[in-house]
Structure formats: structure tokens, C-alpha cells
Amino acid sequence: MRSTYRAILIAYRVLPWQNISKIQRIYTKNPPTAKAVPPPLGKEAFAFVDFAREMEYSYWQVLPVGPTGYGDSPYQSFSAFAGNPYFIDLPTLIEEGLLSVEDCNEIEWGEKPETVDYGALYMGRREVLHIAYKNSKHQDTKEFKEFCKKNEYWLRDYALFMAIKDSLGGQPWQEWEMPLRCHEEAALTKMEQKLSEEVGYYMFCQFKFDEQWNRLRKYANRKGVAIIGDIPLYMAMDSSDVWAHYDLFELDALRREINIAGVPPDLFSATGQRWGNPLYRWDVMEAQDFDWWKRRMTISAERYDVIRIDHFIGIVNYYSIPAESETAMNGEWKKGPGEKLTNIINEVVGEGKIIAEDLGVVTQPVVDLMEANEYPGMKVLEFALDCTPDNPYLPHNFTSNNSIAYIGTHDNETLHGCLSGKSDWDMGRIREYFGIGRQESVEDALIRAAYRTHLHTAIFQMQDLLGLGNEARMNFPSTMGSNWQWRMKKEQYEKINVQKYQTMAWMYRRQNRNPILPEEEEEETKEEA
């Protein structure tokens, strides 16, 4: 990462919108009434890669792609290893003969294409993917058998976990009967036999996700676009990982949390953020040579070209909150594994493939560890808009180029939303500091400012490139009910003035210089990847 000097595109909710009408024109002469299909790993995603390349972007950063759990947050996943079945491309399954257009059109996907309806998505996806599973003959294929063998560490536990959960009406595993709650093999074998059909279904979904994701990533790489993945530091309590590997987490004999993760009071919350994730038993993990982390980073490195570790500072110092506390105000800082873990990460992933999310309470040991590993951190320009001279997020205070310039993140307001709340005095200071003339919008000027910093990489949320307000904000920390719902439509990014960004890429030496590989070299590239 350190040697690169590029512009990066970040697109939230992972993939653009696709309409089934396109499929109908391809597959039927007399198409039924079109209905909107949720974002897939299909043609629209490939088209977005082409768009990123045209914009001269070298990377596409995505949110975590694991199956979402409580609150629909991608940072509270049912698994550190599994992929989200919501992203499986239905048109591809139609092409493979596993679904019909009518199967898809009978499902209600939600009323608004720009907003994710998780309830409708949950019900609709389950229905059509079950149809595809029943029509599939994958069980005896070489590819499926190899997939199962390669992923045996987590696949069975995840599939069984989800099947049991479904059979119990979605109950968290801590409410299961003790033999199941305690992951006793006899109880597991009995449930695996009883729920064999559902276990097989969840394995099928992972097989298809993996197949389609790899196809997309290889296409992106062939176009010279790398994918930056995002992984949360902690696991959701209600996850197959905590259930199956309870000894690695701070749980008591009844599998209840002892201490949980979060952060102390900050700009986002006066009472801190109580995330609820169980903390790791770092001593136990070290005694096992960080095997779980090795496996987690191995699959992450296979899925992404670069990996952003969310809440990286928790590797050095982590905030421990007693599980019974209602807020994060009564926690304490404790020492994490530090270089013991980063050494393992580097061994598995390789050099130059980690981004450290270093926002929050950044102590000197955090800085030292990042510098020792040459991990780039984050400089968020929205944090600089008070324009006080000593603000560390103002460009003149950047002491190294080994950081990444962000306008904002998934936890921030959109740029337009942030600026709309500023006073005339604040806007005057912003215009003065960034040298914004009256003919240029502040939004455009701040994007330009990120381009022209000496930091080796600049990242932009699609909401900001589209000039959207807080109606498109992705997440409001410490709240539930309206987060993670924004979805980009293809017609939105097609209206972007591509030439403007191409010119900025040329002017500030941020062009994508990676070659586009010829079609005939794709198979050879797949083997090398």
C-alpha cells in the first residue's frame, strides 16, 4: 500500500441495483410484470467495475460481506467466514437453469429501489434460493466437494448453526437447550440428521456465493481494479464462531458474556458505544497460536485484495465493559496482543495488504505498531471542518504520506449533509482554509482537496460523489431501525461527470496505471490469483 499513489472508490451497500426487466428481455418473449430484484453479484456489479475503471479508480472498497444478523449491521455478522446469501445473483441462477423468471417475480422485494427492505429481502431470498437449491445437482460435483473440504473448519458449524436457529424461530443460541448451547457433539449430530435438508441449503448458498464472488473479483482484477474488504475486529455474540469456539471468548460456564466490547464516550455518543460483542480471550488464542485468526485472515485474503481491519486500535488497547452495564461509561482499557497478532496477520496475508482503521483513542503504542508494520491509517476530512490550526485531520498536519484520505465513513454524515448543518461562520472558515472560490461548490472543493493531498490514497463514498444528503447516510452509531438501508441505483452513478474525475486523476497523478488484461488471458490469471 505504501508505494501506491491512487484514487479509490468506495461503494456502500456493496452492489448496485438491478431490475428484473432486463432478465425478462433476455429469457422470455412475453415477459410477466417486472419486479425489482435486490443487488446481486451479476451483470450490474460487473458494469460497476467498468465504471470504476473509467473513473480512473484503482480500488473498490466494500462493507463486510458476511451474513447480517441483529440490526442488519454488516459489522454484526453470523459468521466471520461465510458470505451473505443476499448477494447471490438470481439472473445467474436463471442462466444455470436453477430458477425461472416467474420464480423471482412472485416475490415481493420491497417498494423502494433506493432502500433495502430487510424483512422482504429475508423472506424473498429464502424462498427463491430454496427453489434453486432443490433444482441443483451440485452435491455430487467435484467443485462442491472441493469447496466443502477446503472450508470444513467453519462450513458445517455455520450451516448447522443457521439451520438450528431457523428451526427455533430465530432464537439466539444462548437461549437454546444446554446440550446445543454448549456445542455437544452428540446433540449436534442428532440435529444435523434432523435438519439435513436445511444444513444442505446453507452449504449450497455458501457454495454459490463463493463461486459468484470469485468471478466478480477476478473480473475486477482483470480490469485493473482491486477490491478492499472490511472486517470487524469483533464477532457478534449471536454468531456461529462464538457458539462453536466459545473457549476463545470471555464467556462463563453458561455461555453468557462476562465483558463486552465498545468505546468510551466520544463525539458519537455521550454515554459511549456499547457494542455488545464478547471480548476475546487473547491468552487462549495465543496458546493456540492464533489459529482462528490465521484461518479468518486466510479466507479474507482469498476474498479481497486488501483488507481493512475495523477498530484496529483494539488489537493494542481494547475497551472492556462489564456485560451487565447498560452503557459504555463504566469500562476500562486493557492491553491487547499487539505485534503477536500482527505478526500472524502479516504471515498469512503478506505485506502491504492491510489498512488499519485508527479512529478513536489512538495511543502511542497504536501509532508505533502501525508504523512498525507500515499499515496506513485514516485521515477523515469531515473531522477537519472546524478548521482549527492544530486539527490532526487538516492536510497541513499530515506528517506522513502513509495514510488514506477519506471524506467520511459509513458512520459519518454524508458530505452534503454535514455541510448543510454548518453556520455561515463555519462555512467561511472552510472556504478560507481550503481556498474555495465562489464559483466552486464546497462539496466539489473538498473532494478535490482529498485528491490533491500527499497521502498515497484517497477514498470517496458514493453518496458524496453523487452529492446526496443525510437521507442517504449509511449508519447512525448507537441507533437502530434505519441503518444500512441506502442502496445506489445504476442511473445515479451513470449521471456522474466522468471526465471531471478523469481530469483530476491526471492532474494529481492518481490515474489507474494497472493494465487491463486481454480476455484470452483470463484463465491464466485465475490460476495465478
Sheet bearing 259-263, strands edge to edge: 273-278, 259-263, 317-322, 332-335
Backbone angles phi, psi at 60, to 5 degrees: -125, 110
Q: How far is residue 327 CA from its own chain's centroid?
A: 26
| Helix, strand counts (H, E) of the chain | 22, 14
Cβ count near 460 (within 10 Å): 25
Rounded Cα distance, 210 and 254, in Å: 35
Residue recorded with cell 472441493: 146
Active-site residue, 310 included? yes
Cell digits of residue 179 = 446440550
Rounded Cα distance, 504 and 148, in Å: 46
Amino acid in position 477: P
Active-site residue, 238 included? no
Packing angle of the helix pair 442-452, 424-434 (nearest 10 deg): 40
If we measure between CA atoms, which residue out of 39, 35, 41, 48 comes closest to residue 17?
39
Point out the catalytic residue in the list 44, 305, 310, 382: 310
Q: SS3 of 295, please?
A: helix
> Residue 187 region, left (φ>0) first, then alpha (ψ -120 to 50), else beta?
alpha
Point out the catalytic residue in the list 230, 357, 382, 413: 357
Reduce the secondary structure of 115-165 to three states and give it as a string: ECCHHHHHHHHHHHHHHHHHHCCHHHCHHHHHHHHHCCCCHHHHHHHHHHH
Point out the catalytic residue in the list 166, 411, 426, 444: 411
Rounded Cα distance, 104 and 439, in Å: 49
Q: SS3 of 437, please?
A: coil
Active-site residue, 411 included? yes
Residue recorded with cell 473513473: 55
Cell digits of residue 146 = 472441493
Rounded Cα distance, 130 and 126, in Å: 6
Q: Are strands 36-37 and 259-263 parallel, antiparallel or unpaired?
A: unpaired
- 444 CB-contact burial (10 Å; exposed 0-12 / middle 13-18 / buried 19+): middle
Q: What is the DSSP string of 218-281?
A: HHHHHTT-EEEEEEESSPPSSSHHHHHTGGGB-B-TTS-BSEEEEE-S-SS-TT-EEEEEEPB-
Catalytic positions, please? 310, 357, 411
